[in-house]
Amino acid sequence: MQKQTLIGPFSQVVTMANLPLKGALKDDQLQVIPEGGILIKDTIIEAIGNFTELQEKYKTAEVIPLKGKHVCLPGFIDAHTHICFGGTRANDYAMRNAGKTYLEIAKAGGGIWGTVTQTRKATQEELTKNTIKRANRHLKNGVTTIEVKSGYGLSIAEELKMLYAIEDANNASLSDLIPTCLAAHMLPKDYEGSEEEYLEEISTQLFPLLKEKNLTNRIDAFIEESAFSKEQIAPYFKKAKDLGFDITVHADQFSTSGSQTAIDNNAVSADHLEASTEKEITLLAKSNVISIALPGASLGLGYAFTPARKILDAGGALAIASDHNPGSAPMGDLLTQAFILGAFEKLTNAEVLAGITHRAAASLNLEDRGQLAKGFLADMSVFHTNNYNEILYNQGNLKPCMVWKNGTLVYDKHK
């Protein structure tokens, strides 16, 4: 028989189980187990409940005793990042805050293209190393699953280099990295052809390679005036869906039409949505597309937050992600950003926590995580407090003291 491990007692285990995927949540909908214990077998949660009762029932389990106050939550899930990149955009940031326009910054060698240039200069090994470093920082902040996009390569060879780097980083890091191909981030400046020709080339030549080499099952596109239109992307997404890829969209960041694109293409998520109006909010709420708010991008650009309250009140599903990238969201601190969105948008703690656990898992089509319940992965973030409300009350300043990934203690502040 495999070894069983019982951890506890926790002052509270907040399971995030049995919550609806869509709509507003009240804090009293959260399942909170006082004096809780979690029984792990291998990588999976075998049982969860009162610690003393579990100890009596599973007498042979090895006990990992906890002293003092501890609150346990599922490991957090960051469903939208761009943490595989070369270089920095500190100069862009300074220029933007000094009042320079998007065009002036682009002319000075900045913007997305600035990162493409720097990422192309980096070797695959350097990209892997950078990605692992950033993923490990997220892990210490309780994030055990991180979606990572390509999109700074923008040619077949360079997109492949990024996706191989993400694969290598996933193999070498303690967290799970979920890769996404964002070759449709912008028309590369050195491409001699139209948007349509670029998208055709990527979808006919790169997509089959992604499948063959099992590099990703997700395709993303930036729908915006500066990138690709709803009409241009339609054949690209059709091709992707025909090959079995999941679709996700950078939608409604500055202008609307991305959310409609996401709905039309049955996307798993529409991310950003800072510019969404009542019309888009209503359409999204009626659909199966999960809305992902990216407060880190609003903070980086000094721009409006995603209308998260309205999305939830309309009955939509809302996840929250960091968008960690070198340009618009350099901070990369999911919990801090989720707290900020909650404070400005008046979200309940249940809505914020669901946005980085259970609802974030759904946005990545991952059914094995985001909740603490029998059969789920033993991914846990543990905080040194006796009340889960203290976590968001501390505004991102209370960091986990322990993090478990796949049943293994991967971070222990005391050590």
* Token reading at 49: 């409940």
The distance of closest approach from Cβ of residue 365 to ligand NIG in the complex, given in angstroms and rounded to an integer, is 20
* Token reading at 221: 């596109």
Query: Within the chain, what is the greatest distance between any pair of CA atoms?
Result: 70
Going by C-beta distance under 8 Å and a sequence separation of 6 or more, which residues neighbour residue 399? Answer: 140, 141, 142, 335, 383, 413
222 binds ligand NIG (CB under 6 A): yes
Footprint of ligand NIG on residues 321-350 (CB under 6 A)? 323, 325-328
CA distance 317 to 288: 8
Contact track, ligand NIG, 55-84, x by CB under 6 A: ---------------------------x--
333 binds Fe ion (CB under 5 A): no
The option from ligand NIG, Fe ion, none interacting with 337 (CB < 5 to 8 A, set by class) reads none
Stretch of 16-24, 200-208, 279-287, 323-331 lying at the interface with Fe ion (CB under 5 A): 323-331
Going by C-beta distance under 8 Å and a sequence separation of 6 or more, which residues neighbour residue 171? Answer: none
The option from ligand NIG, Fe ion, none interacting with 324 (CB < 5 to 8 A, set by class) reads none
In this chain, which residue has its C-beta nearest to ligand NIG? 327
Number of H helices, E strands in the chain: 17, 16
The distance of closest approach from Cβ of residue 222 to ligand NIG in the complex, given in angstroms and rounded to an integer, is 5
The option from Fe ion, ligand NIG, none interacting with 222 (CB < 5 to 8 A, set by class) reads ligand NIG
The distance of closest approach from Cβ of residue 85 to ligand NIG in the complex, given in angstroms and rounded to an integer, is 7
Stretch of 28-36, 232-240, 320-328, 355-363 lying at the interface with ligand NIG (CB under 6 A): 320-328
The option from ligand NIG, Fe ion, none interacting with 295 (CB < 5 to 8 A, set by class) reads none
Instruction: Give the chain's length.
Output: 415
285 and 263 Cβ atoms separated by less than 8 Å: no
Contact track, ligand NIG, 169-208, x by CB under 6 A: ----------------------------------------
The distance of closest approach from Cβ of residue 387 to ligand NIG in the complex, given in angstroms and rounded to an integer, is 34
Residues facing residue 270 across a β-bridge: 249, 291
188 and 156 Cβ atoms separated by less than 8 Å: no
Q: Which amino acid is at 331?
A: M
From residue 201, give the alpha-carbon distance in Å to each of 78, 183, 184, 205, 319: 30, 11, 11, 6, 32
323 binds Fe ion (CB under 5 A): yes
The distance of closest approach from Cβ of residue 74 to ligand NIG in the complex, given in angstroms and rounded to an integer, is 25
The option from Fe ion, ligand NIG, none interacting with 253 (CB < 5 to 8 A, set by class) reads ligand NIG
Instruction: Give 356: exposed, middle or buried? Use CB within 10 Å, 0-12, 13-18, 19+.
Output: buried
Residue 138 or 250 having the CB closest to ligand NIG: 250
**Type and span of the H or E element at 340:** helix 334-345
CB count in 10 Å sphere of residue 78: 33
The distance of closest approach from Cβ of residue 152 to ligand NIG in the complex, given in angstroms and rounded to an integer, is 7
251 and 271 Cβ atoms separated by less than 8 Å: yes
* Token reading at 365: 């089509």
The distance of closest approach from Cβ of residue 123 to Fe ion in the complex, given in angstroms and rounded to an integer, is 24
Alpha helices (runs of H) in 141-206, residue ranges in sequence order = 156-172, 195-201
Q: Which of 230, 250, 309, 405 binds ligand NIG (CB under 6 A)?
A: 250
The distance of closest approach from Cβ of residue 398 to ligand NIG in the complex, given in angstroms and rounded to an integer, is 27
The distance of closest approach from Cβ of residue 330 to ligand NIG in the complex, given in angstroms and rounded to an integer, is 10
Residue 81 or 357 having the CB closest to Fe ion: 81
* Token reading at 350: 């249940």
Residue 364 or 372 having the CB closest to ligand NIG: 364
CA distance 141 to 352: 16
Instruction: Give 244: exposed, middle or buried? Use CB within 10 Å, 0-12, 13-18, 19+.
Output: exposed
Residues near ligand NIG (CB under 6 A): 82, 112, 115, 222, 250, 253, 297, 323, 325-328
Residues that bind Fe ion (CB under 5 A): 323
